[in-house]
Amino acid sequence: MKRGQFNFVWLFAIVAGGAILFLAIYGALRFGDTMRFQSDSEVAKSIAIITDPLQAGFAEGSFGKILFQQETRVNNVCFDGEFGKNDISVATWSGIGEEWNLPGGATSIHNKYIFSSDIASGLDYYVFSKSFDFPYEVSDLIFLTPDDYCFVNMPDGFLGLSVPNIEVDNCSVADAVRVCFGSGDNCDVMVYGSCLSGCDSVYDEGVVVKNGIDMRYVGNLLYGAIFSDKGIYDCNVRRLLYRAGKIAEEFVGKADLMDARNCNTNLKPDLIVWGAMVGNASINDLASLRTMANVIDRKNKGEKLCGMW
């Protein structure tokens, strides 16, 4: 065999072998990425599903915990046109190069209101829910957080639910987020109640101050303001108000049907006005809307057998 032939054969084998090896490695990496994307997308979809049984229903609230096998980031993007949606996507910790992998496919959730940070990272996530009544039940609010919280000076029995990542007053977790009701030391979040009439507690309405930003709330929206970023909070509140307006429209139709079978209700004019107001309201209108909601609720309770809700 001549020396030139030997070189050519080897050169050919090396080039072709190298190409195959490159394709194999490239394919394996792409395959790994696809598998990770699939797994992260599945997790996002699973979050949407496992929060279903956590909806409060007619209970005071409901609590659950999501455990991940590795550090996981949950992204929440809120869109507020009409009913709007929360887009939930999940990214896992890479440890190589970029700290976090690109997130998997987002799952759009139109019928839930998920209050969380825009980007939350952690191993264990706590999920709990509370209902939002305005004055009828509009929907359940779902709160998702990996952080520990310390509630300082919270009125007794106010939360009405035992959630492991929320401690009250004598807190043992050192790096917990400190939420102070009215006053307190080293507070990360302040809650100022301003409810003076028609309320069980002064904190039934008020303002949550977080990172110097004010978030107005009524009722259980308090927890939404504590656990979520301003953008997510405002967006979800606009979605809830729109839905409250649509439910009022439905009640107006229901009032006509009930009247037709002599189950008369006097709520129709109030509901027409309420529907128009709440559907176009902003967060700044929450406190004044609450006063009107209380009036309508009292009227509904007075209807007894032919009440609307």
Partner 1 sequence: MRNVVKGQMKIQQMAVMIVAVFFFFVLVGLFFLGIVLKDVKGGAERLQKEQAISSLKVIADMSELNYDSTWSMSFDEDKLRIMSGEFGRNYDLFWPVASVGVYKVYPRFDEVKECPSVDCNYYEIWDNGQGDVKTYSTYVAICERVKGMANGRCEIGKLVVGVVDVGK
**Which residues of the shown chain bind partner 1 in the complex (CB under 8 A)?**
1-2, 5, 8-9, 12-13, 16-17, 20, 24, 27, 35, 38, 42, 45-46, 48-50, 52-53, 55, 57-58, 82-83, 109-111, 131, 133, 136-139, 246-247, 249-250, 253-254, 257-258, 261-263, 305-307, 309
What residues are paired with 78 via a beta bridge? Answer: 86
Q: Is the CB of 20 or the CB of 273 nearer to partner 1?
A: 20
Total Cβ atoms within 10 A of residue 75: 20
CA 246, 251, 252, 256 torsion: positive or negative?
A: positive
CB of 284 to partner 1, least distance (A): 24
Q: How many CA atoms lie within 13 A of 280 on its CB side?
A: 5
Compare residues 19 and 173 and give the one whose CB is closer to partner 1: 19
Query: Between 110 and 298, whose beta carbon lies closer to partner 1?
Result: 110
Q: How far apart are CA 154 and CA 161, in angstroms?
A: 13
Residue 107 CB, nearest approach to partner 1 (Å): 10
Tell me if 265 sits within 8 A of 308, measured CB to CB. yes
Q: Whole-angstrom Cα distance, residue 91 to residue 119?
A: 10
**Identity of the amino acid at 302:** G
Beta carbon of residue 45, minimum distance to partner 1 (angstroms, whole number): 5
Decide whether 52 or 124 has the Cβ nearer to partner 1. 52
Tally of CA atoms within 13 A in the half-sphere of 83 that contains its CB: 9
Would you say 203 and 76 are in contact if contact means Cβ atoms under 8 Å apart? no
CB of 205 to partner 1, least distance (A): 21
- The DSSP secondary-structure symbol of 199 reads -
Max Cα-Cα span within the chain: 108
Q: CB of residue 219 vs partner 1: minimum separation in angstroms?
A: 14
Closer to partner 1 by Cβ: residue 137 or 147: 137
> By C-beta, is 12 or 124 nearer to partner 1?
12
- Nearest approach, Cβ of 298 to partner 1 (angstroms)? 17
Bridge partner list, 151: 168, 179
Q: How far is the CB of 52 from partner 1 (least distance, A)?
A: 4
Is the separation of the CB atoms in 195 and 203 below 8 Å?
A: yes
If the CB atoms of residues 12 and 173 are measured against partner 1, the closer one turns out to be 12
For 107, residues 6+ apart whose C-beta sits below 8 A from its C-beta are: 41, 44, 45, 47, 48, 87, 88, 89
